[in-house]
Amino acid sequence: MEMQSPVKDASRSSLSQEDRTQSKPLTLLVEAGAEQIRYARVLEKGMLLGLLVLFLSFLLYVLGVVEPFIPLHKIANYWSVDVKTYLHSTGVKAGWSWVGLLGYGDFLNFVGIAMLSGTTILCYLAIVPILWRSRDSIYVALVIVEVIVLSVAASGILGTGGH
């Protein structure tokens, strides 16, 4: 008695060789939820805006429209030093002190960087109303905790990090 395999043998298939070679790959359709679409839209807009600000601020810097804090002819002197030495040598303070230096071209580009890194927080905040309306309290709580964690980490109030 011959055992039949649960997997069909291609040679015994009712499809002709021509039909097998012309078959299309299986496509799975997965629909994104409303919160995923909102997150993605906010992420896309935040990313594009952050990149635009980063690009424009860099142009202002390299074209000399905004004077740099560190003169361009001295910048190479700092490429090989560690952060602590750089901060001490230049008089720049660690953390959010760069906000006070936004009038300088070499610090102006930090705005775009901050926008890009803060986009995730905005994305999370944008989905809270959708999660709330769907009564998904566990995810609302998780998102709120995530926003708090990211905000506290970005604030530097815990005194942690590389500075």
* Tally of domains within the chain: 1
Written as tens digits, the pLDDT of the chain (163 aa) is 455 544 444 445 555 556 556 666 777 788 888 999 999 999 999 999 999 999 999 999 989 899 999 988 888 888 899 988 988 988 888 888 888 999 999 899 999 999 999 999 999 999 999 999 999 999 999 999 999 999 998 887 876 554 4
pLDDT at residue 163 in the model: 45
Residue 10 has a pLDDT of 47
Domain that holds residue 109: 35-155
Tokens of 152: 């506290």
Question: With contact defined as beta carbons under 8 Å apart, do 54 and 109 qualify?
Answer: yes
pLDDT (0 to 100) of residue 145: 96
- Is residue 110, in this structure, part of any structural domain at all? yes
Burial status of residue 108 (CB atoms within 10 A of its CB: 0-12, 13-18, 19 or more)? buried
- Is residue 145 domain-resident? yes
Inside any domain, residue 109: yes
Average pLDDT of every residue of the chain: 84
Whether 7 maps to a domain, the answer reads no
**Other Cβ atoms closer than 10 A to 129:** 12
In this structure, is residue 136 part of a structural domain? yes
Structural domain contains residue 119: yes
> CA angle 115-118-122, nearest 5°?
110
